[in-house]
Every structure is written in structure tokens, then in C-alpha cells.
Amino acid sequence: MQRVLMVCLGNICRSPLAEGILQSKVNPNDVFVDSAGTAAYHVGNKPDERSIAVAAKYKLNIKNQSARKFTVRDFDDFDLIYAMDESNYHNILSLARNANDELKVSMILNEINPNSNQSVPDPYYGGNQGFENVYQMLDEACEIISKKL
């Protein structure tokens, strides 16, 4: 069983979509997918309605997810940890205890463009087009990830 964690800031917009998209592309007997946020503002909340809507447009149900905060234990519980943006990446790495923890962490769009360190833009303060854009980026990245798992 491979374990993959998707991480953004609030765990209500980007990483819930990444979790739902990757889950839809893998065999649940082989791969466990979860998501978390580096901040605690939205702990216990379901995903943002705009993420729920764009997921539903592509036949994915993410509305039963509940936001949680990333913790140092996630380094033990997961094999791969994908940060949505550079800020998330640095916040996760600041909690790493050793090189083994650090090696698990990468920026998700580097799956599409290696070493480019591009960020999935935070759609929280924008409109629906931002969520569509995030969906398309994450779908492309998760397609590549699913083939490597």
C-alpha cells in the first residue's frame, strides 16, 4: 500500500481536489490518498463550495472530506507528500525531522514540469475560473502520479 498526502494552506480548496482526483485514478486497494492544510483556520470544515462544484462537474464527489492540519506524524504515515505551492512546501519542510522526511516532500506541479517549482495558484479569493484552472492542473499532475504509483 502506497500512501500519498496532498497539502495546501487551508485544506478546503486545492488539496481536497488533488485528493479526489488522484483517488479516482488509482486502485484503492493499492493506494491510500489523503489531504491536509498547513494552517488550522478551516479544521473540521468540508471543502469550499467552489471546489465541490468543479469536482462534481467532472463526476467526483469530494463533499464528505473534512479539513485537518498537517502534523509531523504525517511524515510517518505517508510515503509521498505533495505541496500545492512554494509556501506550503517550505512550511512542510520546516517540520521535517531528518533527510528521510525531507525526501518525501515535493511540489506537485514538478510532476508536469520537473524542477520548475511552479505553484498551484490559490483560488480562494478569486472566481470560478480559478477553480477550473486548478482542476485542470491537478488532473494533469495526478494522471502522471497515478502512472508512477
Catalytic residues: 8, 14, 122
- Contacts of ligand 4NP in 16-75 (CB under 6 A): 37, 41
As measured in angstroms, the least distance from the Cβ of 21 to ligand 4NP is 14
Q: Which is nearer to ligand 4NP, 11 or 65 (CB)?
A: 11
40 grid coordinates:
488550522
Q: Which of 86, 127, 90, 80 is nearest to 109 (CA)?
A: 86
Collapsing DSSP to helix, strand or coil, 69 comes out as: strand
As measured in angstroms, the least distance from the Cβ of 10 to ligand 4NP is 3
| Contact flag: residue 8 with ligand 4NP (CB under 6 A) | yes
d(CA 124, CA 47): 11
Site string for ligand 4NP, 108-137 (x = CB under 6 A): --------------x-x-------------
Q: Which of 4, 5, 6, 9 binds ligand 4NP (CB under 6 A)?
A: 9
Contacts of 127 (CB under 8 A, 6+ apart): none
As measured in angstroms, the least distance from the Cβ of 60 to ligand 4NP is 16
Q: Are 34 and 65 in contact (CB under 8 A)?
A: no
Beta-strand runs (E) in 1-149 = 2-8, 31-37, 80-83, 105-107
101 grid coordinates:
522526511
Stretch that binds ligand 4NP, among 3-11, 23-31, 69-77, 96-104 (CB under 6 A): 3-11
Name the site residues for ligand 4NP (rule: CB under 6 A). Answer: 8-14, 37, 41, 122, 124
